[in-house]
Every structure is written in structure tokens, then in C-alpha cells.
Amino acid sequence: MPILSLLARRSLAALLVLVFLAGCTAATPPERVLAVPAPPQKYAAIVVDARTGKTLFEANSTQPRYPASLTKMMTLYLLFDALESGRVTRDTQIPVSAHAASQPPTKLRFKPGETIDVDSAIRALVVKSANDVAVAVGEYLAGSEEAFAAAMTDKARRIGMRATVFRNASGLPDDGQHTTARDMAVLGMALRKHFPQYYSYFSATDFMFRGRLVRGHNDMLGRVRGVDGIKTGYIRASGFNIVTSYNADGRQIVVVVMGADSARQRNDHAEALLQRALSPSGGRTELVFSDQGAAAAAY
């Protein structure tokens, strides 16, 4: 069944041109504007105070969306869990099967039968979002990618992700794989809470592999002081997604943006929502639905 039903699409089409955060008065001038695609559209967002659990902003945050490579956050969660329990060490060699090696890019381009150590696998997932490595990790930990996806979904329920179903370890297109912006915020907070000793991996912007420097594409790192991760994602069905965490000056905030039309639009909007959450007054975010698709954001 399609993620957005016909009824949901018609409802989206009937939305007012301007959507305001609840509690703001019409007399207050808008602080930030984001142009997002006209319905049927993929946009969803949420901002959560990670210390209190309070929702600071949300739009479509419980509506089903494709996670894309945000899926790898759960792949990493289960790998961190295996490290914590002693099932693997950072030096453990993970074999790459023919199935794993056959995954489409982005990947590290292994040949079947080659191996990767756990430490490098973590960095490959965080920095490169390598699909071949994600599948190899899943197969190693659960015997098959299908079994690993079932374990991912089970873990999601256990940590409070009530509307997420995983079908693979990578986030590559699958009609049965879906999540919500709220669930992705829950996962982002759970990774820091349950695995603080490994959370610094999410701050990596590059890593060395086989003598080659592999660069990442999470441009929020280094763009805003206090941002320390965590994951980006994109497939055509999802648009551009990101989960961003902020940890500075006694504040911990998680921002999720899903369904942007470009990486730049996604990053600009995530930064605007973060700055809004950090401002003393709280601010206001105005969403403008547009037929122009990838219209530029203005703040």
C-alpha cells in the first residue's frame, strides 16, 4: 500500500498556503520561510529537546516516510549493541558476501570474499553511508539481511519507535520500509543515551581506508557550532533527509528534516529549525507550499 494514500494526498492538497506553529499569533511577522513541494509531498520535520523529551517543533512528524540511509542509524545501533555485549570487537573482520558486494552505490566497492574490520565498518556507515558495508554487517550479525531487518524492527519497538518497519540494512528503496520523523528523533536520542562511548563516531567527516581518504557529505558538521552528527539520507522516493544533533552550552537538541528537494534546502532548513530552538524567544517557522518544487529557502 502506498505510503501516502489518495485520501492523504487530497488532504495535503487542501492545506492552507501558510502553516504556522501552534500558539503563534498572525500579527507576529514570520522569522523563517521554507518553500517545500506542493502535495503530494514528502516533507516532515521535528525538533526535540533531548534532555527533557519536549517537542519544540513538528510538522507531519507522525506521517509515514521512507527513511533512506537514515536506516543505517539502526544498523549502527545493532552493531554498537554487539560491541557492547562482546559479540564483536573493533578488530573483528566482517566478510563481504556476493550479495553485499552487489549493492548499488554509495559503497566502498568490495569484491566478494573480502573483509572489513568493525571499526572501519562503523566509519564507512557514518561517513560514506556505504550500502555494501551495511549489508555485510547485517549478514554477519544475523545470518541474513532479512533476519537482520527483522531484528532492526524488533529493536525499534523496544526503544519506542512505534511506526517504523525495516526491510533492509541500508535504506535502499523498498516499499515496505517506512518510518516517521518522530521515530527518527527517538533513534537519534537513543544512540547517544545508550552508546555514549561510541557516539563520537558520528562527528567524523572523513576516514582513511586502504590508503585512501574517504570524505563524507554531512555538511552540518562544522557548519553550526555544537552540531556533532549524525546521519543524512536520500533516495528518490524520500527526498533529502537528515537527523542532526546539537550538544553545547548545556543544551541537547535533535532536529529531523525529511523530504527536502536538495541537500542545500535540507541543511538550510535544519539549521533554521535549530537556531529557532536555541533562540530565547523560540521564534516561529513558516512553511510555504509551492508548485515550484525545489524553490530556495529564505530566512
Catalytic residue among 72, 107, 128, 231: 72
C-alpha cell at 72: 543505517
Q: Which long-range contacts (CB under 8 A, 24 or more apart) does 24-27 make?
A: 24/284
Please confirm, yes or no, whether 72 is among the known catalytic residues: yes
Backbone angles phi, psi at 25, to 5 degrees: -90, 150
Among the listed residues 287, 217, 291, the one whose alpha carbon sits nearest the alpha carbon of residue 19: 287
> Is 120 assigned a catalytic role?
no
Task: Mark whether 129 is an active-site residue.
Answer: yes
Q: Which of 42, 61, 69, 245 is catalytic?
A: 69
Asked if 214 and 258 count as a contact pair (C-beta separation under 8 A), the reply is: no
Residue 182 CA from chain centroid, whole number: 11
Which residue among 61, 129, 170, 245 is the active-site one? 129
Residue labelled with grid coordinates 557529505? 217
Burial label for 24, CB within 10 Å (0-12, 13-18, 19+), is middle
- Could you give the C-alpha distances from 247 to 42, 126, 253, in angstroms and in order? 28, 18, 7
Contacts 24+ apart (CB under 8 A), 159-167: 159/186, 159/187, 159/190, 159/194, 160/186, 160/190, 161/186, 161/187, 163/62, 163/64, 164/67, 166/71, 166/74
User: Residues with catalytic annotation?
Assistant: 69, 72, 129
